[in-house]
Amino acid sequence: DFLRWREANEVAIEQLNATHDPDYVASIFAKSPEEGHIELDQETLMMPNTLDAALRASGAVVQAVDMVMSGEVQNAFCAVRPPGHHAEYDKAMGFCLFNNIAVGVRHAINQYGIERIAIVDFDVHHGNGTEDIFKNDPKVLYASSYQHPLFPYPDPGASHDNIVHMPLEKGSKGEDFRAAYESELFPVLEAFKPQLLMISAGFDALAEDPMGQLRLREDDIVWVTDKLMDVAERYCHGRVISVLEGGYNTDALGRAVFSHLKAIMKI
């Protein structure tokens, strides 16, 4: 009664080209192998079905935007692979071919005329691709908490008016995570007054995950989700779209996603 499942459609090429360099998009199609695998970089491989999965991952976010903006649903969670937040304007990186959440944000701006969209990213890794695509875009606020130093080794001091960096030291716990959000993000988010709130939901910041050394717990994910839902109620008519990024301990991932969804649905 609480969840409705939808199979993702493939994203349109025009929607990819509105977010990424069209030459880059064409190169990904051209490189897709019929058998075996190819390496786009040290971490990012393509196999015969990778392109189809990536097209559906971005398509899921576009579909979620349409469903939320039409009022068909109040909010949505996109359970997608491959993730997207490392994919830059013209570059694959960190398991990511296309920047799924960025494709959805661009669609929301172009199709629905939204003027203020906030993206909050709590993956253990900084979403360098999302920053690259939206830096200096006044319609988009991008905020990222992440372990530092850690791949992709961003500069926390990089200065863009619409980008909020919240670097956390190795071993940081929930109280450090919460303090960063309270002091560095929420005042900015309140001032921005987003009309749509998007979440890059990476669950590799959990203590059990092998990809990082942050020490978040499930209740920290619930806390930040609750806080973001409160912001959405004030400014976005409750409209929230969450998009899966990292998460590599499947047991911890499953539990945390379940709790994240319950918080989004307020149950």
**Rounded Cα distance, 85 and 81, in Å:** 11
CA nearest neighbour of 265 among 74, 68, 47, 10: 74
- Span 180-215, pLDDT tens digits: 999 999 999 999 999 999 999 999 999 999 999 999
Over residues 123-149, mean pLDDT: 98
Whole-model pTM: value is 0.97
CA angle 71, 142, 250 (to 5 degrees): 75
Map out the domains of the chain with their CATH numbers.
13-265 (3.40.800.20)
Residue 159, pLDDT score: 79
Residue 180, pLDDT score: 99
Residue 1, pLDDT score: 64
